[in-house]
Amino acid sequence: MKHLHLMLLSLTIALFITSPQPVLSSEISDQPAYGDALITGSIGEPSVLIPMLAGDSASHDVAGLVFNGLVKYDTDLSIIGDLAESWDISQDGLVITFHLRKDVKWTDGVEFTAEDVMFGYKTIINEKTPTPYKEDYLQVKKAEVLDRYTFRVTYEKPFAPALSSWGNLVVLPKHLLEGKDITKSDLVRNPIGMGPYILKKWTSGQDVTLGPNKNYFEGRPYINEYVYKIIPDPATMFLELQAGGIDMMGLTPIQYTKQTNTTFFKENFQKFRYPVFSYTYMGFNLKHPWFKDMRVRQAIAYAIDKDELVDVVLFGLGSPATGPYVPNTWAYNPNVKKYDYDLTRAKQLLKEAGWEDTDGDGWLEKGGKKFEFSVLSNMGNRSREQTATIIQYRLKKIGIKMNIRVLEWSTFINEFIDKRRFETVILGWSIGIDPDQYDIWHSSKTREKEFNFVSFNNKEVDALLETGRRTFDMEKRKKAYYRIQEILADEVPYIFLYVPDATPIVSSRFKGIKPATIGISYNLPKWHVPKNLQKHMMEQ
Amino acid sequence: MITYLAKRFFEMIPTLFGITLVSFLILQLAPGKPTDVLTEMNPKITPEARERLEKLYGLDKPMMVQYGMWLKRVVKLDFGNSFSTDRRPVLEKIWDTKQALIDRRLFITFFINLLSMILIFIVAIPIGISSATHQHSLFDKITTVFVFIGFAMPTFWFALLLMMLFGIHLDWLPISGFKSMNYESLTLSGQIWDRTRHLILPVFISAFGGLAGVSRYMRGSMLEVIRQDYITTARAKGLSETAVIYKHALRNALLTIITLLGLSVPGLIGGSVIFENIFGIPGMGQLFYMGVMTRDYPLVMGILTIGAMLTLLGNLLADIGYMIADPRIRAK
């Protein structure tokens, strides 16, 4: 899940962060100037620049600057208009009507209209379009173009995540793509969008260069060139950063805490830190006779020191998790049962469940069987392996023997997760910005290849998940998700371990960066370099 | 001689066929599928959607049928379309005719390997000769230690050290990539100089590890040759030492090196995967690595086939070289 984890994460974020936020008055002293280039390092190369066809984060990063959606996420993760000026949702939550902006043109000069959205929608639900993002749009019963600037969709059932799905996945230039096979179109590598940047040059294996869209509807971006430089080796990338070859990259915890703590870095760079939309957890196979008992799961939760995991595994760059949401987002419930490190409580719970060290060998037994189980994780993810080792050490203190098995990713998923051949696992989820987690917790989602592989089954949670996704009323949704988190905390199907932080570094000549819950790159078009600090001179 | 060459050439065809079959099977046996990137652990993907995607890529057919389909296209020199989301033809990825020659992946890899091979021979052959003619001397011992350090040192680590020294502390050379950001605005000579600067470290790194093998073989075969009777005869004739070594001994000693040349092609291609990734050089090795990571079957197969062809070609060239150097083979 290593790659996927990161990929889905930046993907969910990239989908909606495509356009700038208004500059606050306090920032005006920075005197924005046009010009200069921002060179960012990336391990992977984009492969397609049409958002609905892309599966990797590099493609979404770049395509996100070329295409906008009807809606996007604001800095506090609420949904605001982008290409849609406003929208109405019918009383019963079944019909959404989008009112589009009238001043938007594709970069080839053709006007953007509701027909383009309709075309995008029809393309994404088309059988022949190889896209992993179909599902949300298959829920749509009817889509209509009411007039040039009005687009309406009708759903079978109210579907709360529906609104956010109208991001940049479904906006395509109809006049360029109609009647063509989208996968073979020139636009795949040479997209025409309406976003803040235009593709200027793409040299395979080396870099992708974007230039400013001078007619961008929210104002021309300040930085004149955005270069996405491909450097496959992370160590090389860090050297390039020091040598001035790139201006921006994501740091590893050790680079963030140790290697960039020199005067050189303090003078020339600015570091940022914010929670990533993902978490790492230890999941129990709830069908296993030992782990069926809630007391056993709670005991193990008490025996794990989450702060220690954050300090050691993440070098302190993260926070302990209490549920499946990121702290400080609207769905996150801070007041759920927390399992602070407490060995006495853990031992007591195990005793209640019948586990005791009867023969005095230091390990617990029940019915003559020693408490010994294995935890599975995937190869190549060092932080998960380290987490497992620390938990192993902690569980030994309460007399439980945990063995660690690290497996190659595909084998792990196909042979163990899908066939339910595991006792416990250490894995991670990247989470979408919308709090709907129906696929992970609903008791109907336990078939092979589905995602409730721990077999969690709770009628109240099932009902709450339905409520949460079937209403647009934020208060009702919040209440439902708060309650779900309480139940998950009490029943412990997963032990939620930690939420890691993203730690990007940017050259200090770039001004106007305003970190928010959503990250830093959401207002990229508003970043700027004061005239006297500009490094790359070029024609405007 | 022509018949011999023709025979050798036709022998290559079944070999190539065998190589592709084995590569294809191994690739299919590796866990994971090309569609995993899009589908694994993605809650938005239903089992039905996964099947649809697999069908789209033709992965639902039996393995041998897939190989047959692949082979049918390859005999027409069509390597198919890549499985990555861009669906570009494999051949276009490896040899993009829209790009300048110097920016085509196969050319980059070939060019760097050629340069490093030339460097290896220029350095290793004299080292080998001197070590042999001055056997057990201080020079012999020092070069032995030196080339073995080069052989034993992990490439990626040594590359990083050199990058730190020349790229950051001394600031003489660029750290990665194959051209500078301002490349387009440079004059022709400026462009050539820019490429050269980018090539120095990668070529040095890829040559450094190869010095040991070639110089030791050279030393060994030279030692063997100079003990032969005809060398004693040459010396007895009163020829100068230079003429004895470089005219009479070297020619026979080089035979081993010619064999080595043919055999070194696969190693060089393998080495490209490593140094192209470290230095961010957009060659075939880097493309191969990305292809393997995403299980892009057509791309990996395409590169393996081209690699196999180059290897076989290398062997053929070695045979020809042998014939030129050794009259006994020519006579057969």
A427-466 pLDDT per residue, tens: 988 887 888 998 899 999 888 778 899 999 999 999 999 9
B103: left (phi over 0), alpha (psi -120 to 50) or beta: alpha
- State the pLDDT at residue A518: 87
Q: Could you say which of B43, B47, B156 has the minimum Cβ distance to residue A440? A: B43
In a 3-state reduction of DSSP, which class is residue A200?
Answer: strand
- State the pLDDT at residue B189: 92
Q: Which residues of A touch B282 (CB under 8 A)?
A: 203-206, 230
pLDDT at A6 over 60: no
Contact A327, A513 (CB under 8 A): no
- State the pLDDT at residue A281: 95
Q: Could you say which of A3, A133, A411 has the minimum Cβ distance to residue B31? A: A411
Q: How confident is the model at residue A540 (pLDDT cuts 50, 70, 90)?
A: very low
- State the pLDDT at residue A386: 94
Alpha-carbon span B137 to A120, nearest angstrom: 76
Contact A420, A453 (CB under 8 A): yes
| ipTM, 2 dp | 0.83
Kindly list the domain boundaries of chain A, sorted by start residue.
44-188, 197-275+504-533, 278-501
As to burial, measured by CB atoms within 10 angstroms (0-12 exposed, 13-18 middle, 19+ buried), residue B152 is exposed
- pLDDT cut 70: percent of chain A above it: 94
Asked if B160 and A8 come within 8 Å (Cβ–Cβ), the reply is no
Q: How confident is the model at residue B42 (pLDDT cuts 50, 70, 90)?
A: low
Q: Which residues of A touch B96 (CB under 8 A)?
A: 204
- State the pLDDT at residue B41: 62
- State the pLDDT at residue A71: 93
The residue among B117, B53, B46, B116 whose CA lies nearest residue B85 is: B53
- Cα angle A465, A466, A468; round to 5: 65
Q: Which CATH architecture has domain A44-188?
A: Alpha-Beta Complex (3.90)
The tens digit of pLDDT for each residue in B108-164 reads 999 999 999 899 989 999 999 989 888 888 988 998 888 888 888 888 899 999 999
Alpha-carbon span B321 to A529, nearest angstrom: 60
Residue type, A423: E
Q: Which fold has domain B101-331?
A: MetI-like fold (1.10.3720)
Q: Where are the beta strands (DSSP E) in A273-347?
A: 274-275, 278-284, 318-320
In a 3-state reduction of DSSP, which class is residue A86?
Answer: strand
- State the pLDDT at residue A296: 95
Alpha-carbon span B172 to B189, nearest angstrom: 18
Give the CATH H-level superfamily of domain A197-275+504-533: Periplasmic binding protein-like II (3.40.190.10)
The strand pair at A269-271 and A504-507 is best described as antiparallel
- pLDDT cut 70: percent of chain B above it: 96
Q: Could you say which of B47, B163, B286 has the minimum Cβ distance to residue A205? A: B286
Average pLDDT over residues A195-219: 92
Residues in a beta bridge with B309: none
Average pLDDT over residues A141-170: 91
Contacts of B141 (CB under 8 A, 6+ apart): none
- State the pLDDT at residue B37: 65
3-state secondary structure A221-268: CCCCEEEEEECCCHHHHHHHHHHCCCCEEECCHHHHHHHCCCHHHHHH
Q: Among A345-349, B53-57, B269-273, whose mean pLDDT is lowest?
A: B53-57
Site from B33, B53, B85 to mutate, A interface, most A CB atoms within 10 angstroms = B85
The residue among A220, A102, A111, A100 whose CA lies nearest residue A166 is: A100
As to burial, measured by CB atoms within 10 angstroms (0-12 exposed, 13-18 middle, 19+ buried), residue B14 is exposed
The tens digit of pLDDT for each residue in A203-212 reads 888 899 999 9
Alpha-carbon span A427 to A439, nearest angstrom: 16
Q: Which residue has the higher pLDDT, B329 or A295?
A: A295
The tens digit of pLDDT for each residue in B51-101 reads 777 887 788 888 888 888 888 888 888 888 888 777 788 888 888 888 888
Q: Which residues of A touch B94 (CB under 8 A)?
A: none
Q: How confident is the model at residue A4 (pLDDT cuts 50, 70, 90)?
A: very low
Q: Encoding tokens for residue A79?
A: 């949904």
Kindly list the domain boundaries of chain B, sorted by start residue.
17-78, 101-331
- State the pLDDT at residue B151: 85
The residue among B234, B305, B313 whose CA lies nearest residue B24 is: B305
Alpha-carbon span B183 to A30, nearest angstrom: 32
Q: How confident is the model at residue A30 (pLDDT cuts 50, 70, 90)?
A: low
The strand pair at A95-100 and A84-89 is best described as antiparallel
The tens digit of pLDDT for each residue in A465-505 reads 999 998 888 899 999 999 999 999 999 999 999 999 999 99
- State the pLDDT at residue B63: 84
Alpha-carbon span A197 to A213, nearest angstrom: 5
Give the CATH H-level superfamily of domain A278-501: Dipeptide-binding Protein; Domain 3 (3.10.105.10)
Q: How confident is the model at residue B332 (pLDDT cuts 50, 70, 90)?
A: low
pLDDT at A238 over 60: yes
The tens digit of pLDDT for each residue in A247-264 reads 999 998 889 999 999 999
Contact B293, B285 (CB under 8 A): no
The tens digit of pLDDT for each residue in B177-218 reads 888 888 888 889 999 999 999 999 999 998 888 888 888 889
Alpha-carbon span A410 to B63, nearest angstrom: 18
Asked if A1 and B41 come within 8 Å (Cβ–Cβ), the reply is yes
Q: Encoding tokens for residue A534?
A: 């500009």
Chain B: nearest CA to A232, how far in angstroms? 6
Average pLDDT over residues A395-405: 94
The residue among B287, B297, B259 whose CA lies nearest residue B109 is: B287
- State the pLDDT at residue B88: 85
Chain B: nearest CA to A201, how far in angstroms? 12
Q: Could you say which of A128, A232, A410 has the minimum Cβ distance to residue B277? A: A232
B280 touching chain A per CB within 8 A: yes
- pLDDT cut 90: percent of chain B above it: 20
pLDDT at A160 over 70: yes
Q: What are phi and psi of B81, to 5 degrees?
A: -95, 145
Q: How many CA atoms lie within 13 A of A307 on its CB side?
A: 5
Alpha-carbon span A304 to A293, nearest angstrom: 18
Average pLDDT over residues B261-273: 81
Largest CA distance in chain A: 82
- State the pLDDT at residue B31: 72
Chain A: nearest CA to B265, how far in angstroms? 23
Alpha-carbon span B275 to B267, nearest angstrom: 12
For chain A, give the mean pLDDT: 88
- State the pLDDT at residue B264: 80
Q: What are phi and psi of A45, to 5 degrees?
A: -100, 140
- State the pLDDT at residue A302: 96
Burial A403-415 (b: 16+ CB within 10 A, else e): ebebbebbebbbe
Q: Which residue has the higher pLDDT, B233 or B294?
A: B233
Q: Hey, how many other C-beta atoms are within 10 angstroms of the C-beta on A44?
A: 18
The residue among B268, B263, B222, B215 whose CA lies nearest residue B244 is: B222
Chain A: nearest CA to B146, how far in angstroms? 26
Q: How confident is the model at residue B311 (pLDDT cuts 50, 70, 90)?
A: confident
The tens digit of pLDDT for each residue in B78-92 reads 888 888 777 788 888
Q: Among A117-126, A390-399, B31-40, whose mean pLDDT is lowest?
A: B31-40
The strand pair at A248-250 and A365-366 is best described as unpaired
- State the pLDDT at residue A9: 39
Q: Hey, how many other C-beta atoms are within 10 angstroms of the C-beta on A505?
A: 22
- Cα angle A362, A390, A351; round to 5: 40
Alpha-carbon span A429 to A278, nearest angstrom: 5
- State the pLDDT at residue B39: 65
Q: Hey, how many other C-beta atoms are within 10 angstroms of the C-beta on B276?
A: 28
Asked if B181 and A37 come within 8 Å (Cβ–Cβ), the reply is yes
H helix intervals, B83-187: 90-94, 105-133, 138-152, 155-162
Q: How confident is the model at residue A29 (pLDDT cuts 50, 70, 90)?
A: very low
Q: What are phi and psi of A318, to 5 degrees?
A: 170, -175
Alpha-carbon span B324 to B320, nearest angstrom: 6
